Structure 1
């Protein structure tokens, strides 16, 4: 596909920059070989930058409250005339999917409406990170969980929407409403693996914390899921591959206004990952943080045991098709069984786990 012609410096606003996907995206955008380089990178997060986040990755950190229209308008005003691309990685999650729709739609609309009316606005593209809940429904809403019927895997982008409320659908409709002046791309990840202490659904960090506590207390590491997910194939999305695809779509004309699955391109079983996680409860984690001099966190802030429990008790294969991406020209991939130990190593280097 033909790359977009861009004589001017591109400026990215990453909303959710300190999460797994946002952190890897900031790293990728600052690489000199990245398409569209050199990029200016502006970051938004709900809290100040953590000590493990290199300040050199972002040029500005405006950080408005995206739920507050006036705050978003005022905080983004100084950079609104520079932003060419919004990378929407952020999300706020509650148990009710109707609440999720309202909150997340409000946040995205507030940010886009703060940027679009700016004098000499350069905003041209919005990159939206969604996920496979698009094909499974609101699996974390306890009021709907028992009645959900998922699409048949492997999940493909042209499958119709399910008849359930889903904030992914609402966000896709919202970005589409800005056409034709602002294009968009939608990226549907599987289970994201990366490094951060701040992601809402960080499966790798949650399992690493569990394995660390088991080791610290001399307990066996018991798989917390069911036999089906232990033995059957699943897929993952390395945050580096996700960043690569988002940037590719942002600067490639033929990828505009489309949705793409984004996984590593291979499959794995949870059984095959047990050894990786075992190499080498709340009160116990506090003791571990102090003993090993880790970045100070509370276990409830960095783990997602409730969400992980849902994922590890699926009765179907969570597998996406990557054919559309490949046919469109995106060939990024990762070896999941090599990605896992690499990211565990990054978490250790960042002093998030021992």
Structure 2
């Protein structure tokens, strides 16, 4: 979802003058317009050798990396280890180029940076979180979180390159293979309720009537 919108925004802002390479562990979906990309590279980012082989042909061209990828595993410890390895393999493959032109990494994480691991059943009823409003310099929560690990990893490449972190709360975009489409599903359900003049039963404890 984020990659599609990002490619569109970069092309529109720069009037299609940039070379945009998309790299992913999965094949390019059929609905993704190939015209948005200069190239698409499919590789196994957990395999450092494969990552280096696939990214080496373009590594000297890369000036900016926009990291919007994550993989979810069975435990929070695996999430930390695997996601860190994936990002490190990619950055190493690019920065090892001679000369490397990489200047900036943009990292997308999310609000679990402030809220903790809200989907972890072992923390039910005892989760510590920051109170609203969330602020960028809030201290880290006492749980293994791959968001923290990714930030530390990117920071370790400083001062050779700069980086920014974007902790988006909710991203809305249609994607046939993403499970993060809750708001779109609710929007469709709400539209049906409005059309049929039915009560909209939201996931909380209130009922909304559309007029």
Q: 1:186 aligns with which of 165, 185, 191?
A: 165
Q: CA deviation at 1:188?
A: 0.7
CA contact (8 A) 1:72 1:114 kept: yes
| 1:145–1:95 Cα change, 3 Å | farther
Q: Please state if 1:26 is matched with 2:26.
A: no
Report the CA distance between 1:95 and its aligned residue: 4.2
Q: Secondary structure at the match of 1:73?
A: helix
Q: Identify unmatched segments of 5+ residues in structure 1.
A: 1-19, 232-270, 276-354
The structure-2 alpha-carbon separation of the partners of 1:208 and 1:128, relative to structure 1 and needing over 3 Å to count, comes to same
Please report how far the alpha carbon of residue 221 of structure 1 lies from its aligned counterpart in structure 2 after TM superposition.
7.3
Instruction: Specify the SS of the correspondent of 1:126.
Output: strand
Report the Cα distance in structure 2 between the residues aligned to 1:189 and 1:98, rounded to whole angstroms. Answer: 22
Gap regions ≥5 residues in structure 2: none
Could you give the per-residue CA deviations for residues 1-38 of structure 1, whole angstroms, max 9, x where no partner exists? xxxxxxxxxxxxxxxxxxx111000001111x449x72
1:54/1:146 CA distance change after superposition, 3 Å: same
Q: What is the aligned partner in structure 2 of residue 112 from structure 1?
A: 91
Among 66, 75, 95, the residue aligned to 1:96: 75
Q: 1:200 to 1:126 in 2, by over 3 A?
A: farther
CA RMSD of aligned residues (A): 2.4
Q: In the comparison of the two structures, how many residue pairs are matched? A: 206
Q: Does 1:84 align with 2:56?
A: no
- TM-score w.r.t. the length of structure 1 is 0.54
Residues 292-345 of structure 1: per-residue CA shift (max 9 Å, x gap): xxxxxxxxxxxxxxxxxxxxxxxxxxxxxxxxxxxxxxxxxxxxxxxxxxxxxx
CA separation in 2, counterparts of 1:200 and 1:84? 31
1:15 equivalent in structure 2: none
1:226 is aligned, of 181, 204, 207, to: 204
The offset of 1:48, in angstroms, is 2.1
1:197 is matched with: 176
Deviation at 1:170, TM superposition (A): 0.6
* Mapped contact 1:41–1:59 kept (Cα < 8 A): yes
Cα distance in 2 for residues equivalent to 1:147 and 1:92? 25
How far does the alpha carbon of each residue in 1:166-191 deviate from its partner, in whole angstroms, 9 at most, with x for none? 11111100000000001100001011
Q: How far 1:208 moved relative to its partner?
A: 5.5
**Cα drift, residue 138 of structure 1:** 1.1
Map 1:248-327; keep pairs closer than 5 Å. Answer: 271=208
Higher relative contact order (CA 8 A, sep 6+): 1
Q: Is the 8 A contact 1:132 1:190 kept in 2?
A: yes
CA gap 1:88/1:197 in 2 versus in 1, 3 angstroms: same
Contact 1:192 1:203 in 2 (8 A): no
1:221–1:41 Cα change, 3 Å: farther
Shift of 1:94: 2.5
CA distance in 1: counterparts of 2:19 and 2:137, whole angstroms: 34
Query: Residue 122 of structure 1: CA displacement?
Result: 0.6
Task: Report deviation, 1:225.
Answer: 1.6
1:145 lines up with 2:124 in the alignment: yes
